[in-house]
């Protein structure tokens, strides 16, 4: 799987040492992950490692060994089941000492929100560490924590409030908000619907569990060429506005808020290899 991952068109690859590894393989999986990251050949993709919780017997060794041994190829750590600011504060202290001994730059963190306790404190968690880069929704564990049946019929999107809550907490702290994975890897149509909803709400991306899920997710989070062109036209019009705060473009009033939204569209466009047809002034 690690060999295949090197060729996948994902923005980030997460090597999992937690739920997907049974206890008697934990030590071997850690060594394999470290060797794979040190080996390089990941291109421009960021490589993160989901470690075991600090409270387990494997968590502290995961952090110490991966941070010290993986080298510069390590893009960050994904921290599972974060339930309170103290979880990240304790991890900060361990990382400070580990990085000092290893002589390496600080490692970034991504927090998985996947329990009722974590969801209740997500706004506090979002500001708990200067290392924190993103909040990620963990649907499977969160469903278990809430007692939410995976097959229950519900009139609407039963995860809407969760997505909105995590998004607001992330944005208020200047973090990315990442949607959790669609667990039925054979249901690409349902995945496309979920990814579209997450993007419409404003989330930055979505986890994939299987290579087949990457293309629908990339499609959902990549703007269309028409959106990129419109964003470029908005920036052109505002740049040529001679100091006016608001101007009209094709009958629509645009202003500073329009500029911010257009800049976001262009950033996503660049990530997808798209540029506006009209050059910016």
Q: Are 32 and 158 contained in the same domain?
A: yes
Q: Are 205 and 234 contained in the same domain?
A: no
Q: Are 263 and 204 contained in the same domain?
A: no
Q: Are 11 and 63 contained in the same domain?
A: yes
> What pLDDT score was predicted for residue 278?
59
User: Is the residue at 279 inside a domain?
Assistant: no
Q: Are 79 and 118 contained in the same domain?
A: yes
Q: Are 74 and 164 contained in the same domain?
A: yes
Q: Supply 177's token pair.
A: 């908000």
43: left (phi over 0), alpha (psi -120 to 50) or beta: left
Question: Of 131, 115, 128, 107, which Cα lies nearest the Cα of 49?
Answer: 107
Centre a 10 Å sphere on the Cβ of residue 152 and count the other Cβ atoms it contains. Answer: 8
User: Is the residue at 79 inside a domain?
Assistant: yes
Phi then psi for 48, rounded to 5 degrees? Answer: -115, 165
Q: Are 128 and 112 contained in the same domain?
A: yes
Q: Are 215 and 238 contained in the same domain?
A: no
Q: Are 241 and 185 contained in the same domain?
A: no
The radius of gyration of the chain's CA atoms, rounded to the nearest angstrom, is 21
Q: How far is CA 44 from the centre of its chain?
A: 16
CA gap 159, 203 in Å, rounded: 13
Where among 206, 221, 236 does a domain terminate?
Answer: 221
Q: Are 231 and 202 contained in the same domain?
A: no
Where among 184, 205, 221 does a domain terminate?
Answer: 221
Neighbouring residues of 23: CB distance < 8 A, sequence distance ≥ 6: none
CA gap 208, 256 in Å, rounded: 35
User: Is the residue at 22 inside a domain?
Assistant: yes
How many domains is the chain built from?
2
The structure tokens 């404190």 sit at 121
Sheet holding 176-179, edge to edge: 12-16, 46-50, 74-79, 109-113, 132-137, 176-179, 205-206
The structure tokens 């060429």 sit at 225
3-state secondary structure of 137: strand
User: Is the residue at 242 inside a domain?
Assistant: yes
Contact by Cβ (8 Å): 10, 45:
yes
User: Is the residue at 154 inside a domain?
Assistant: yes
Q: Are 217 and 253 contained in the same domain?
A: no
Where among 202, 221, 240 does a domain terminate?
Answer: 221
Averages of pLDDT over each 10 residues, the chain, 281 residues = 91 96 97 93 90 96 96 95 96 95 95 98 98 97 91 84 98 98 95 95 96 96 88 87 83 88 86 75 41
Question: Pairing state of beta strands 46-50 and 205-206?
Answer: unpaired
Q: Give the domain extent around 238.
A: 225-271
CA angle (25 as vertex; 24, 30 as ends), nearest 5: 135
User: Is the residue at 276 inside a domain?
Assistant: no
Contact by Cβ (8 Å): 195, 220:
yes
Which H or E element spans position 190?
A: helix 188-201
Contact by Cβ (8 Å): 171, 148:
no
> What pLDDT score was predicted for residue 48?
97
Give me the CATH number covering residue 132. 3.20.20.60
User: Is the residue at 281 inside a domain?
Assistant: no
CA gap 125, 131 in Å, rounded: 12
Q: Are 97 and 231 contained in the same domain?
A: no
Instruction: Please state the length of the chain.
Output: 281
> What pLDDT score was predicted for residue 44?
81
Q: Supply 223's token pair.
A: 């703007």
User: Is the residue at 277 inside a domain?
Assistant: no
């Amino acid at each position: 799987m690690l060999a295949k991952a090197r060729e996948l068109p994902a923005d980030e690859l997460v090597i999992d040492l937690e739920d997907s590894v049974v206890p008697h393989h934990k030590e071997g999986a850690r060594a394999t992950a470290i060797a794979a990251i040190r080996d390089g050949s990941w291109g421009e993709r960021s490589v993160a490692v989901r470690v075991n919780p600090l409270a387990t017997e494997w968590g502290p060794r995961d952090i110490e060994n991966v941070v010290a041994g993986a080298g510069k190829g390590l893009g960050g750590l994904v921290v599972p089941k974060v339930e309170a600011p103290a979880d990240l504060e304790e991890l900060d202290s361990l990382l400070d000492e580990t990085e000092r001994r290893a002589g390496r730059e600080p490692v970034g963190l991504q927090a998985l929100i996947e329990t009722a306790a974590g969801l209740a404190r997500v706004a506090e968690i979002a500001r708990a560490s200067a290392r924190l880069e993103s909040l990620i929704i963990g649907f499977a564990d969160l469903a278990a924590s809430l007692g939410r049946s995976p097959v229950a019929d519900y009139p609407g999107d039963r995860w809407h409030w969760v997505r909105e809550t995590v998004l607001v907490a992330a944005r208020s702290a200047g973090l990315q908000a990442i949607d959790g994975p669609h667990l039925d890897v054979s249901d690409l149509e349902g995945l496309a619907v979920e990814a579209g909803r997450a993007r419409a709400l404003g989330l930055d991306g979505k986890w994939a569990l299987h290579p087949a899920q990457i293309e629908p997710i990339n499609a959902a989070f990549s703007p269309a060429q028409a959106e990129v062109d419109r964003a470029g036209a908005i920036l052109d019009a505002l740049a040529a506005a001679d100091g006016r705060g608001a101007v009209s473009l094709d009958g629509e009033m645009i202003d500073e808020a329009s500029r911010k939204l257009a800049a976001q569209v262009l950033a996503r466009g660049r990530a997808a290899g798209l540029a506006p047809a009209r050059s910016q002034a």
